[in-house]
Amino acid sequence: MTYTGEPSVHARARDLADAGAWAELVELLRGNATAIAGDAELRVLLGESLVRTGQERQARHWLESILPALVGRREEALYRRALNLLGVAAFALGDLDAAHTAFTAALERATQADDILLLARTSNNLGAIANLQAQHESALLHYRVAVPAYQRLGQRRGLAETYHNLAITYRDLGSLAEADEHERRAIDYAAGDVAPRVAAMGRIGRAEVALRRGDPQLAEETARRAAEKLEDLNDPLNEADAYRLVGTACTAMDRFSDAHASFERALSIAASRGHAIVEAETRRDRADAFARMHDDERARGDAVAAIAIFRRLGAVKEVEALERRFA
């Protein structure tokens, strides 16, 4: 790996990345164009920091621009890492074909290089795509590759992320006890300063389980706390998802004004960032709220918009369910 950047910038950037201070890292790197121009690792770190601060559009453009220069044996590790990050950005933006292509290519290179950490990450990411498209068994297989790989490395953050994803799959399968148990594991692995963002995501997952078990008050309280934490962590993608769940819980309690405010906040964040999945799920849930209010026109409007996004994502079961409800 070539390294010709300023040592102070390079060392500071690594410290910020290790601490998960992604917003500060974006500011540092954007203010040191000369340093990153000659340092391949700093260029990839800028892409990662953009992804982790919810700036996926900029991240995708940046990563696509730097990938060609990383091709070659000396930068192979950075190249496959950048490929995975490109997939993460594309996934958040709802371009699942591009995400799948990037994750698969990164997985193949990780396997060839015996890069266990990236193998685990790409398997986890491919599982998330499979689950969204209702390929639950395929998702579970991917996660079952990721978990032992992360265990072998002692990678708690990765284990937290994978257990959270496992919980989503079990929840989608209707296995709420298993879902809640996996969210508990995710939160345990993320405890302390290991992965506060993932811990908050696990709490959103537990709030979702509480809602499905018929406890909307607990769901609302838990999701609100998660939203506040995620705002502090500068994670707009999951903050929007937390406010979506707050809105859904308020709908279940017929508190439609509060629900509307939460849905508006979720949509404002998701639409401005291009977060297609959260936008689709929020419009789906708000359509149900409008239906409970007997506002059929706005319910159908949100349902149609959600169907269009879910269809583009290949989320066939979501499309079928919405079409049945709002035919």
Task: Return the residue matching tokens 């953050």.
Answer: 157
Instruction: Indicate the SS3 state at residue 6.
Output: coil
For the four alpha carbons of 231, 96, 78 and 147, in that order, the dihedral sign comes to: positive
Domain ranges for the chain, please list them: 7-114, 226-315
Q: Report the distance separating Cα 241 and Cα 275, nearest Å.
A: 10
Distance (Å, rounded) from C-alpha 254 to C-alpha 306? 22
- Whole-angstrom Cα distance, residue 218 to residue 15? 38
| Amino acid 7: pLDDT | 54
Rounded-to-integer distance, Cα 136 and Cα 127, Å: 8
| pLDDT of res. 25 | 95
8 A C-beta contact, residue 74 and residue 109: no
Q: Are 121 and 149 in contact (CB under 8 A)?
A: no
| Residue 153 φ/ψ, nearest 5 degrees | -90, -10
Q: Which two tokens stand for residue 134?
A: 């209702």
The ranges of the chain with pLDDT < 50 are 1-3, 5-6
| pLDDT, position 192 | 87
Count CB neighbours of 3 within 10 A: 11
- What's the pLDDT at 1? 46
pLDDT, tens digit, 9 for 90 and up, residues 176-202: 999 999 999 999 999 988 999 999 999
Fold of 7-114: 1.25.40
Residues 116 and 152 sit within 8 Å (Cβ to Cβ): yes
Provide the sign of the torsion angle of the four alpha carbons 226, 228, 231, 237, taken in this order: positive
Q: Please say whether the beta carbons of 107 and 122 come within 8 A.
A: yes
Please tell me the pTM assigned to this model.
0.93
Task: State the Cα–Cα distance between residues 121 and 220, nearest whole angstrom.
Answer: 31
